[in-house]
Structure formats: structure tokens, C-alpha cells
Amino acid sequence: MDENTKKRILTGDRPTGRLHLGHYVGSLRTRAELQDAYDEIIEVADVQALTTHFEKPELIKQSILDVTIDNLSVGLDPDKVTIFQQSQIPSIAELTIFYSMIVSCNQLRHNPTIKTEAKNYGYTDLSYGFLGYPVSQTADITFCNAHLVPVGEDQLPHIELARKIVRKFNALYGTSIVEPEAKVSSTGRLSGLDGNAKMGKSLGNALYLSDTPEEIWNKVKVAVTDPAKIHLHDPGHPEVCNVYKYHCVFNKEEAPGISEQCKKGELGCVACKKRLNAVLNNLLDPMRERRAYYEQHPDEVKDILAKGNKRCNEIGNQNLAEIKEKMHILVK
Ligand code: ATP
Ligand code: MG
């Protein structure tokens, strides 16, 4: 199958820092698995990053390359996938404006994910851009007529909104914009080794894909385990242990044996952490190799983005010309 017959996926990351194992489990791993079967388009969502980080342009600038390299490091092949930078695609901005005419503010205000995020960021009076980011996200997905959007549960209200916008827009103007479908990640959230329900970069508990073996071990060795297991031979309770949770995610085959040994008091926490550390480094080592290559060849990374921007501009400009024609705003 060539890219013309494959279904298209749109996915991406906000460049607000480096990506971590939570991102890997939640999306990057699936991205790598799907890169052959789909025409996969990956957005470095720098405009969306501005909705919360507009006062940190230097962080966004640095993160554009970091996040691109993070994606390449997990084995995404630049000859198969398209990676582009949101701000470089004017058709996305235009489409956002058109969509904004047919979305009500209340629809956005009642979006549960917007509410939760606004609360987490401590926003009381939302900016126009933040309140409207699901509209901009709809334009991200539809400027290229993506069929599928791999998402976590938190993103479902946004995909629902995107589908509503597309249906309304198509009905109004007779356009044939593809109504996207969500592909919900089955893995769910990766918790933090500190016991937090989520690994997150602002929670200070992230294991970054770019961490060195020393950095990984320094984080793994202080992980909170079963508080009732103090001595090596105390019987443990894997069901309440953060390290065991990680064995279940990253070391599936050995996890049942580890659980047995821990419960019988045959496996100490330090040895258990060392085993997890080894498994994590086995996963990260090939990523480190690819990362080292790209870090030594930054021009190649910039070329990958430039190539992606070019392709997305071709797709977007063509689609926008058709859309404007249907909207009767193209004077010929
Ligand atoms: P912050 O702490 O600044 O919010 P973050 O580490 O949560 O940053 P985001 O950029 O908010 O990262 O995450 C983007 C997406 O990555 C989320 O919508 C989610 O799909 C996925 N993701 C982030 N953290 C995890 C995690 N711990 N487990 C699974 N998926 C995650
Ligand atoms: Mg977050």
C-alpha cells in the first residue's frame, strides 16, 4: 500500500519539554507500531504550546527540536512518517478561524477536559486561545483529512467536538472534510514511581527518554515501594508497590515471578529495583543510540521538519482552496 491508499493518522506533542516514559507508554510506542500500516503525520504543536506557555518562547524553541528527536529516538522512521511544525502551516490557522465561527463559547466552557486543565493550571479567566484550543486541534486533525487520532481518555471530548464541527461545517458548505475517529490507547496512564497517579513533567517524577543510565538509576533507586516491607525477607505486597506496577508495564514476562518472590520475602526491594533498572535501560539503550545520531546531525533533524512542513503545506493549501471555494469566498 502506498501513502495514497493508507488511512491517515494525525497525532502529536506539545513542545513544552522533553518526552518521558508516560508519553512512550501512552502514545509513542503505538506510533512506532502503526507507522507501516498508516500514513502517519506527527505534529509538533508549538501553537498549542503557546496556549499555556506563551511566556516561555525559549523553552518552546528548544523543545521543538527535543520533541522531534524524542520521536525519532523511539524508532519512527523519517522515510515513513511525516513530522511537521504546527506554526509553519498557515492553512491550519485559517481553518481554525473558519471553525471558530460555528462553535459556541458555552460548548467550549462546558468541555470537561478544559475545565480540569484550567483548574490544574490555576486559570480563573481563560484566554481566548486556551478556551479555543480544541477548535485549533480540530483544524490540526482536519487540514489533512486525518481518519484516526490516537488519544488518551482525556482527549475524547475534543474528538467529539471535532466530529460535531466537521458535521456542521460539511452540512453548511457542502465540503467533504473527513470526520475523524478517536483510537483510544488501551494502556492508560503510567503512574509515577513516587506514588503519584501520573508521571508528568511538571510533577517532577518523570523518567525522560533522554535520561542517562545514571539518571534513571537515581530515580528508580528512590522509588516508593510497599511501606510494610522494611527488611529484605519481609513478605511484600506487590499490589501496592510502584516498582511492581512498572514491572507489569515494562517487564510483563517476569512480573508474575517477581510478585511470587516478593510475597514470599525472597526478593528485596533493592534487587527488585535493579531488575527494573536493567529492563528500563534495555528499552532505552536503542533510543539513546538513535538520539546520539540525531544530536550529532541537527541539520538532518531540521531537514526532516522542513520536509514535513512542505508536505503538510501542499496538502493543507489544496484542501483550503477547495474549502474556500465551497464557502464562496474564493473570488476568481
Ligand atoms: P505536564 O506535567 O506539563 O502537564 P505531561 O508530562 O503531563 O506535562 P503533556 O504534554 O501534558 O505531558 O501530555 C501530553 C499527552 O501525553 C497527554 O494527553 C497524554 O495522552 C500523554 N501522557 C502524558 N503523561 C502520561 C502518562 N503518565 N501516562 C500516559 N500518557 C501520558
Ligand atoms: Mg499534562
pLDDT along the chain (332 residues), means of 10: 81 97 94 97 98 97 98 98 98 98 96 94 95 98 97 91 98 98 86 93 94 98 94 94 96 97 96 98 98 98 98 98 95 79
> Which residue puts its alpha carbon closest to atom 18 of ligand 1?
152
Residue 202 Cβ contacting ligand 1 at under 6 Å = yes
Sort residue 230 into left (φ over 0), alpha (ψ -120 to 50) or beta: alpha
DSSP state of 28: I
What pLDDT is attached to residue 13? 96
> Which residue puts its alpha carbon closest to atom 3 of ligand 1?
202
Query: Which residue stretches of 223-268 are H helix?
Result: 242-250, 255-263
What's the gap in Å between 138 CA and the centre of ligand 1?
A: 19
How far CA 88 is from CA of 24, 50, 305, in Å, comes to 26, 14, 10
Residue 154 Cβ contacting ligand 1 at under 6 Å = yes
- Distance from C-alpha of 303 to C-alpha of 282, rounded to nearest angstrom: 30
**319 and 94 in contact (C-beta within 8 Å)?**
no
Residue 201 Cβ contacting ligand 1 at under 6 Å = yes
Q: Given the CA of residue 199, which atom of ligand 1 is nearest to it?
A: 27
What pLDDT is attached to residue 214? 98
> Which residue puts its alpha carbon closest to atom 11 of ligand 1?
200
What's the gap in Å between 332 CA and the centre of ligand 1?
A: 46
Residue 23 Cβ contacting ligand 1 at under 6 Å = yes
Q: Given the CA of residue 206, which atom of ligand 1 is nearest to it?
A: 6
Q: Given the CA of residue 203, which atom of ligand 1 is nearest to it?
A: 2
Nearest partner of 231 among 277, 273, 266, 275, judged by Cα: 266
**294 and 301 in contact (C-beta within 8 Å)?**
yes
Q: Rounded to a whole number, what is the distance in angstroms from the first to the last CA of the chain? A: 37
HSE toward the beta carbon, residue 251, CA cutoff 13 A: 22
What pLDDT is attached to residue 187? 74
Query: Nearest bound ligand to CA 190?
Result: 1
- Distance from C-alpha of 271 to C-alpha of 37, rounded to nearest angstrom: 40
Residue 229 Cβ contacting ligand 1 at under 6 Å = no
- Distance from C-alpha of 131 to C-alpha of 111, rounded to nearest angstrom: 9
Residue 19 Cβ contacting ligand 1 at under 6 Å = no
Residue 53 Cβ contacting ligand 1 at under 6 Å = no
> Which residue puts its alpha carbon closest to atom 24 of ligand 1?
22
Mutate to test the pocket of ligand 1, among 23, 46, 48 (most ligand atoms within 8 A of CB): 23
What's the gap in Å between 115 CA and the centre of ligand 2?
A: 13
What pLDDT is attached to residue 202? 86
What pLDDT is attached to residue 188? 77
Q: Given the CA of residue 187, which atom of ligand 1 is nearest to it?
A: 29
